[in-house]
C-alpha cells in the first residue's frame, strides 16, 4: 500500500525563505513516516509576481494565487501569460457571465495554450484547499491533499478502501497536529494516471463497466464518507473527475462514455466540476458560455463548490488527436462539447 501525498500546500501572506523551510519541515515529517510526496505548493494572495513565480519554480514548488475577479484578471492577464509556474481561478460565483469569460479562455488558447492547465473558473470555492488551481487563501497555515486512490490497491471492496483512507487520515492528523499552522486534510479523491492511482480502475473492479457504475449509489457512498469521516476536514472533500489526468477516464472519454452531461451528473451529487476536459480550438463559444452558466447555476442552487477547467494544446480541432506535451494530460481524439 502506497501512502501518497499529492500536495503539501502552505498559505502565506508573503513569500520568503521561511516559507520554503516550512514546506521542507512538513515534507520531512511525512517522509519519515513512509509517505511519498508528489508536490509542494504555496498559495500567496495579492497581485501576480514574476519574482515569486521564478523563486518557486527554482525551488521545485508550485505557486497559486487563489481566486481572482474579472477586474483582477484584466490587470493580470499579460503577466499571467509570462509566468511559468502560477495557477489561479477566476471567480464566477455571483457574476453576470457573458462573452468576456469565454473570450479570455480563447485568448489563452491562441497565445499560450499550455496555460489553460493552470486556469479554472470556480463557483463557491472553499478556503484552504491544497489543490490547484482552486487553492484559495483565507489565513496562514498549511493543508494536505492525498492521492488516496493508491490506498485502494488489493482492496476487496469499497468499504475496505474507506477504512484504509480513514486510518491514513488519522495518521496524518497525529503527525501534523503538533506543527504550527496545521489546517487539516482536504479528503477529496484526486486520481492520476492509470492502474491503482486511477479512480476508474477501482470502479471497474467493483462494477462491470464505468457506464454501469454511473447510475449506482457507489459514488454517493464514497462522497458521503469523505464529508463525514474526516476529523479535521478542509477544502472540498469531494470526488475529482479530471478527464485527462485520470488516464483510464480519458479512455472512457474517447469511447464517448464521459460526455459533459455525464461529467456534470456525477459532479452534481459527488464531484467538484469539470476538470482537465479537452476543448477543440474550433469549439462553439456559445456552447462554452452555456456550460459556464449552467455550472454557476447548479453551484448556486445547491450551494456546492463547482469549477471548470478546459484544456487545449492550441492547435487541435474537434475530431483531431491532441498533442499536449504535458505528462499529466493524456492525449485524446477531441470530441465536441
Within a 10 A sphere around the Cβ of 82, how many other Cβ atoms?
A: 12
In percent, how much of the chain has pLDDT > 90?
A: 99
What was the pLDDT predicted at 140?
98
Question: In the chain, which ranges are continuous DSSP H helix?
Answer: 17-32, 50-58, 70-82, 99-112, 158-176, 199-206, 210-213, 218-228, 247-254, 260-269, 285-302
What percent of the chain is predicted at pLDDT more than 70?
A: 100
Under the banding of pLDDT at 50, 70 and 90, the label for residue 148 is very high
User: Residue 294, CB half-sphere, CA atoms under 13 Å: how many?
Assistant: 15
Q: What confidence category does residue 197 fall into, taking pLDDT thresholds of 50, 70 and 90?
A: very high
Q: Is 330 inside a domain boundary?
A: no
CA distance 101 to 310: 12
Q: Is residue 274, in this structure, part of any structural domain at all? A: yes
Residue 184 resides in a domain:
yes
Range of the domain at 29: 4-311
CA distances from 5 to 27, 252, 284 (A): 10, 26, 38
Residue at 320 is within a domain: no
Confidence of residue 213 (pLDDT cuts 50, 70, 90): very high
pLDDT at 331: 98
Indicate the average pLDDT of the chain.
97
Between CA 54 and CA 46 the distance in angstroms is: 16
Q: Is 332 part of a structural domain of the chain?
A: no
Q: Structural domain tally of the chain? A: 1
Assess if residue 262 is contained within a domain: yes
Residue 293 falls inside a structural domain: yes
Q: Which pairing describes strands 4-11 and 141-146: parallel, antiparallel, or unpaired?
A: antiparallel
Instruction: Determine the average pLDDT of the residues in 62-87.
Output: 96
The yes-or-no verdict on residue 262 having pLDDT over 90 is: yes
pLDDT digits (tens, 9 = 90+) for 308-323: 999 999 999 999 999 9
Is 152 a residue whose pLDDT tops 90? yes
- pLDDT range class, residue 229, cuts 50, 70, 90: very high
Question: C-alpha cell of 304?
Answer: 456546492
Judge contact between 136 and 145, C-beta under 8 A: no
Q: What is the model's pLDDT at position 60?
A: 96
Q: What secondary structure does DSSP assign to 61-120, as a single string? A: EEEEEEEE-HHHHHHHHHHHHH-SSEEEEEE-SS----HHHHHHHHHHHHHHGGGGGGEE
Q: Which of 235, 35, 247 is nearest to 151 (CA)?
A: 35
Sequence-distant (6+) residues with CB within 8 A of 313 are: 113, 114, 322, 323, 324, 325
In a domain, 324, yes or no: no
8-27 per-position pLDDT tens digit: 999 999 999 999 999 999 99
The whole-number pLDDT of residue 1 equals 78
CATH number for position 153: 3.20.70.20
Nearest to 205 by CA among 264, 248, 169, 167: 248
Residue 314: what pLDDT? 98
Centre a 10 Å sphere on the Cβ of residue 134 and count the other Cβ atoms it contains. 27
Q: 180 near 18, Cβ under 8 Å? A: no
Amino acid at each position: 500500500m502506497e501512502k501518497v501525498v499529492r500536495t503539501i500546500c502552505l498559505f502565506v501572506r508573503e513569500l520568503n525563505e521561511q516559507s520554503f523551510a516550512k514546506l521542507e519541515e512538513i515534507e520531512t515529517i511525512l517522509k519519515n513516516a513512509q509517505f511519498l510526496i508528489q508536490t509542494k505548493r504555496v498559495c500567496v494572495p495579492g497581485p501576480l509576481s514574476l519574482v515569486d513565480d521564478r523563486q518557486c519554480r527554482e525551488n521545485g514548488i508550485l505557486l497559486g494565487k487563489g481566486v481572482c475577479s474579472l477586474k483582477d484578471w484584466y490587470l493580470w492577464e499579460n503577466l499571467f501569460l509570462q509566468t511559468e509556474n502560477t495557477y489561479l481561478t477566476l471567480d464566477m460565483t455571483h457574476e453576470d457571465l457573458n462573452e468576456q469569460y469565454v473570450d479570455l479562455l480563447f485568448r489563452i488558447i491562441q497565445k499560450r495554450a499550455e496555460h489553460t492547465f493552470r486556469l479554472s473558473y470556480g463557483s463557491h470555492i472553499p478556503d484552504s484547499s491544497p489543490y490547484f488551481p482552486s487553492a484559495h487563501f483565507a489565513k496562514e497555515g498549511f493543508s494536505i491533499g492525498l492521492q488516496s486512490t493508491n490506498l485502494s490497491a488489493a482492496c476487496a471492496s469499497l468499504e475496505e478502501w474507506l477504512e484504509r483512507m480513514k486510518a491514513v487520515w488519522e495518521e496524518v492528523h497525529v503527525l501534523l497536529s503538533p506543527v504550527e499552522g496545521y489546517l487539516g486534510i482536504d479528503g477529496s479523491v484526486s486520481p492520476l494516471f492509470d492502474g491503482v492511482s486511477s479512480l476508474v480502475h477501482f470502479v471497474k473492479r467493483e462494477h462491470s463497466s464505468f457506464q454501469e457504475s454511473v447510475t449506482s449509489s457507489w459514488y454517493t457512498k464514497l462522497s458521503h464518507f469523505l464529508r463525514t469521516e474526516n476529523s479535521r476536514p478542509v477544502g472540498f472533500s469531494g470526488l475529482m473527475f479530471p478527464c485527462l489526468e485520470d488516464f483510464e477516464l480519458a479512455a472512457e472519454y474517447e469511447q464517448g462514455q464521459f460526455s459533459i452531461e455525464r461529467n456534470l451528473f456525477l459532479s452534481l451529487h459527488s464531484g467538484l466540476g469539470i476538470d482537465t476536459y479537452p476543448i477543440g480550438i474550433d469549439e462553439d463559444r456559445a456552447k462554452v458560455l452555456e456550460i459556464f452558466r449552467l455550472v454557476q447555476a447548479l453551484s448556486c442552487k445547491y450551494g456546492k463548490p463547482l469549477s471548470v477547467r478546459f484544456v487545449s494544446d492550441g492547435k487541435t480541432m474537434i475530431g483531431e488527436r491532441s498533442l499536449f506535451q504535458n505528462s499529466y494530460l493524456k492525449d485524446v481524439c477531441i470530441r465536441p462539447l
